[in-house]
Homo-oligomer: A and B are copies of this chain.
Amino acid sequence: MSKSISIFDTTLRDGTQGEGISLSADDKLKIARKLDDLGVHYIEGGIPGSNNKDIEFFKRVKEFHLNAKITAFGSTRRKNSVAENDDNLQRMIDAGVPAATLVGKSWDFHVHTALQTTLEENLAMIGDSIAYLKRKGLEVIFDAEHFFDGYKNNPEYAAAVLAKAREAGADWLVMCDTNGGTLPNEIQDIVSGMAGNLPGASLGIHTHNDCELAVANTLSAIGAGARQVQGTINGYGERCGNANLCSIIPTLQLKMGYHCIPGDSLPQLTNTARFVSEVANVNMPVNQPYVGTAAFAHKGGIHVSAIMRDSRTYEHIAPELVGNKQRVLVSELAGQSNVLSKAQDMGLSLDPSSEQARKVIDKIKNLEHQGYQFEGADASLELLLREATGEMNELFTFESFKMLVEKTAGSPVVSEAFVKLKAGGENLYTAAEGNGPVNALDNALRKALLPYFPQLDEMHLSDYKVRVLDEQDQTAAKVRVLIESRNYTNTWSTVGVSSNVIEASWEALVDSMRYALLGQISRENDKKSSSEPRGLVNH
């Protein structure tokens, strides 16, 4: 039997049913590209026509020419009607994607209670809908909702549903444990039975985590013959979530000899999981298997000394296989080599054994302890390293800012910023409005600096993220602001941390402009003659 498993990601559809998970069309597009890099086979994008975000997603995703097949989700035709006139099926076709995930009922109780129709009509709804989508040239993945509850209640009917879907031409028959209440041995027995019933059919499994068994149930189904896994990144999904692909993929691939995604993309797993949690703005549990920051963290003294002798003593796999890393919680040994290799990347001369190197590493560690995170803020890190190696001339210096936000009932809120800077020996003092405090600060900064650095006109902020740290500390908690900026050729990210969201934003804004000037001026110099005045040159 084949050891290849088809990975069907539904983070963008079932994942968004999770409490607190809400993704814009842009967020969905970013995640789709990341999933495609990881090498999943199907990306379920959403429900076409259900809302504007999904419509926009299906329209724009085509521009990316991804390798993964995009699928649109929808239900079988309405009862007592014809597939050709069904709005819902039409919207799936209009989405213009190569595959459709069609969900149909397989639990007799649901047919009676939720659909309020007959068992025969439900079979006809399934058969008609699949046949119609197939005639329209779509690949059809049939999701048999509540398959296991259905099988336990009425095995003949559940089996008849799959047989009908197959007969109508479905490419995949996916058994769903929609309520998440089935146990691994039940999954094993039922899937084995179906594999025997439908020789040669392509079977899939879709589980939920209501008993903390979604991963185990998926593995059980694979063992019994299923060859497609439906799940989500980080296990996002309704109620207790869907099957977590970040646990299933490495277990199948590293421990069970199956092939899911290209071997060389498995080390992207941790990064993918963290990226999706950032975009969804959901904290990843530190103890998440394989990809969490504590997944290979060692606290106990005995464990740590054994780990130093041989990491197999307390690690089930080498963390690098999934792109994660070992951490020893007592003494932070990591970091140093990363910083040095960053400096090297930037072409800075930083001798690893120098006092200079020790100082900047201490400074970075100290900042990280305060909540800074440089993994997503390369530009701020580069500015720090350039300062440390003396390869940084400041083009402007900060004197002060004031920010005023004023709101009167019935009138729009007003934000004004006042900034005082020094550049080229001059005092710059100016004010600007904005439609929010950060926008006002950005406007005031530009207004002050543009006469001196017209190239700032080419840059703009392209992303702004706020993350609250130590959430237990009420509104006195620290916030971390990440700003992404862009000009015609580059994108760069900067960070600021403070218990004051305005101050944190200001820090990241100022770094963003310092970095913009750094890059632009050095490019200017490459182009222009060396007789150019050198006063404002950085390096």
Contacts and interface: CB of A to CB of B under 8 A. Distances in A.
B178 A405 contact: no
B239 A287 contact: yes
B405 A240 contact: no
Interface string A269-301: 000000000000101011111101111111110
A313 B213 CA distance: 19
A201 to B, nearest CB: 24
A471 B475 contact: no
Contacts of A151: none
Contacts of A180: 289, 316
Contacts of A235: 287
Given A114-B313, A185-B223, A310-B113, A298 B464 contact: no
Nearest to A237: B287
A69 to B, nearest CB: 23
Sorted nearest first, the 9 A-B pairs with minimum C-beta distance are A181-B316, A216-B216, A212-B247, A461-B474, A466-B466, A400-B408, A19-B294, A438-B475, A436-B500
B498 A436 contact: yes
B26 A471 contact: yes
B436 A286 contact: no
Contacts of A415: 500, 502
A265 interface: no
A210 interface: yes
A405 B500 contact: yes
Contacts of A405: 402-403, 437, 500, 502-503
A62 interface: no
A505 B441 CA distance: 19
Contacts of A317: 181
A117 interface: no
A184 interface: yes
Given A329-B19, A436-B475, A466-B479, A184 B219 contact: yes
Given A179-B315, A376-B20, A212 B287 contact: no
Contacts of A403: 403-406
Nearest to A407: B401
Contacts of A178: 314
Interface residues of A, number: 129
A422 to B, nearest CB: 10
A447 B483 CA distance: 35
A106 interface: no
A536 interface: no
Contact of A333 (B16, B179, B216, B465): B16
Interface of A: 16-20, 22, 24, 26-27, 50-51, 75, 109-110, 113-114, 178-181, 183-185, 209-213, 215-216, 219-220, 223, 235, 237-241, 244, 247, 251, 255-256, 281, 283, 285-290, 292-300, 302-303, 305-306, 309-310, 312-317, 329, 331-333, 373, 375-376, 397-409, 413, 415, 434-439, 441-442, 460-472, 474-477, 479, 498-503, 505-506
Nearest to A502: B405
B471 A435 contact: no
15 contacts: A18-B287, A18-B294, A114-B306, A209-B287, A211-B316, A212-B215, A216-B216, A238-B303, A239-B296, A239-B298, A401-B407, A435-B476, A442-B475, A464-B468, A466-B479
A464 B472 contact: no
Contacts of A438: 475, 501
